[in-house]
Amino acid sequence: MNAAFDHCVIDIADDTVIYAPAASVLAVVGDSSTWRRWWPDLMLEVYSDRGNKGLRWTVSGSLVGSSEIWLEPLASHTSGPAATIVHYYLRATPTRAGSEIVPRAATNSVREQREVHKLRERHVLAWKRTIWGLKDSLESSYD
């Protein structure tokens, strides 16, 4: 394994329940134009299309690494609405200035740690806004 990828400084995992069928979530998640809206500073290339279970991508651009959206249908024990757990993962490292694929060398300075913390926080908050927007949109269709 490449030593540059032994430790990803951005490591995000999130699970969100959307009360809509997995096929409805996949219709949005599987559209590459959605990815450009959701992650405008990243370029995603599918390396594993898991069908109705979601997608895995290699990531380049402002970050380099991998990402995944895994869709897990939630079994309903009632006649209530279908639900899907959306599992999101982002494991990446900021790229070197002027490159979309070369990871930035880690210095572990206090300044860099603050920058990485802010970057991680920015990606977490952007994802939460994105997934909650999708949740609102899809769930309003099934009210």
pLDDT given for residue 97 in this prediction: 86
pLDDT given for residue 3 in this prediction: 41
Report pTM: 0.87
How far from each other are the two terminal CA atoms of the chain, in whole angstroms? Answer: 48
Query: What is the rounded average pLDDT of the residues 101-106?
Result: 83
Domain 3-141 sits in CATH 3.90.1480: no
Answer whether residue 1 shows pLDDT above 80: no
Q: How confident is the model at residue 108 (pLDDT cuts 50, 70, 90)?
A: confident
pLDDT, one tens digit per residue, over 14-59 is 999 999 999 999 999 999 999 999 999 999 999 999 999 999 999 9
